[in-house]
Chain A
């Protein structure tokens, strides 16, 4: 409870800091989400994509 009220008082209470938090968390969420999805896609399609086979053709 003390932690959540501290977070609220220092970060969320003022509109200026709250807006900063929204922009900042959106940035990090987007990067993390994209990275996670790409990692899943690349491991799911391992060996099928061009980046997996291009080593066979270029020295």
Chain B
């Protein structure tokens, strides 16, 4: 580092060879008219701000270093990449996993049955999915709430009426809503996959309380959700072998879709944006060369006045 700085200085890049250029700089400087006290004040303010920034940065690094957390490995998702859409067959299987496994405890409040149409289900299938559920509606003429079969416009019903009921049923732990879970956790769908497949026995020295399980990907290691995905725990309607990792992969893809329903449109716009900006860059590069040509090819000659 020092050698490199020395080489740059040696090359004379930072040296001002003549006093005239120094004079020029000082005559163009906007701080020329400042008083000594004002310069000192602004200078010390700059040092203070820089120092505060450095301290904040250093503190942030040290906090991260002290965390005992296992980061999920990056998986080669079929929707990774600049132009890759979601795998909708996988999203559909993921809905089956959510419906038959996750929905026992986790809500999906922000997804309505109409959202499934054209993404994972046809309209008839989505209507049939909705009609399986009894939705609380009302009040009727007598002021009572009543149950009715679901419609396309209904949101996916939650397993518990409120957070307190969910906590009471789960040893005080709250199963989070899964609608935006891949955006709400570090690592996104990689984290969901690692968490669902990462259960194993607690190592020696880790004490788990009643109703807790060990999962290294969960911060702290003690998670109140039991392992729920095993080989063949459900049967896929399209005949895909339902191994535990397949189930976890499909439900992670499904939750990626629930969190980012605009995913495919975004990737489609990516193609268009790259295309149009390539054209615009070429046009503006040409225009710049064209407009500057006369200036760049100009020669300036200095002729001292002869006495």
Contact = CB atoms under 8 A, between A and B. Distances in A.
16 contacts: A33-B272, A33-B276, A34-B272, A37-B268, A38-B268, A41-B83, A41-B267, A41-B268, A45-B83, A48-B78, A48-B89, A49-B85, A49-B264, A54-B122, A57-B121, A57-B122
Interface of B: 78, 83-89, 92, 118-122, 124-125, 238, 264, 267-268, 271-272, 275-276
A5 B195 CA distance: 69
Nearest to B87: A48
Nearest to B264: A49
Given A33-B276, A48-B84, A56-B238, 8 more contacts: A36-B275, A37-B268, A41-B267, A41-B271, A49-B88, A49-B264, A57-B121, A57-B125
Contact of B85 (A48, A56, A57): A48
A53 interface: yes
Interface in A43-59: 44-45, 48-50, 52-54, 56-58
A44 B85 CA distance: 9
A27 interface: no
B120 to A, nearest CB: 7
Contacts of B84: 44-45, 48
Contacts of B121: 57
A8 interface: no
Contacts of B124: 58
A40 interface: yes
Contacts of A58: 122, 124-125
Contacts of A34: 272
Contact of A53 (B88, B125, B268): B88
B302 to A, nearest CB: 42
A53 to B, nearest CB: 5
Contacts of B88: 48-50, 52-53
A45 B124 CA distance: 26
A34 B238 CA distance: 34
Contacts of B122: 54, 57-58
A45 B85 contact: yes
B177 to A, nearest CB: 25
A40 B85 CA distance: 12
A53 B85 CA distance: 13
Contacts of B125: 57-58
Which 6 pairs show the lowest CB-CB distances between chains A and B?
A45-B85, A58-B122, A37-B271, A50-B88, A37-B272, A48-B87
B87 A37 contact: no
Contacts of A52: 88
A41 B122 CA distance: 22
Contacts of B92: 53
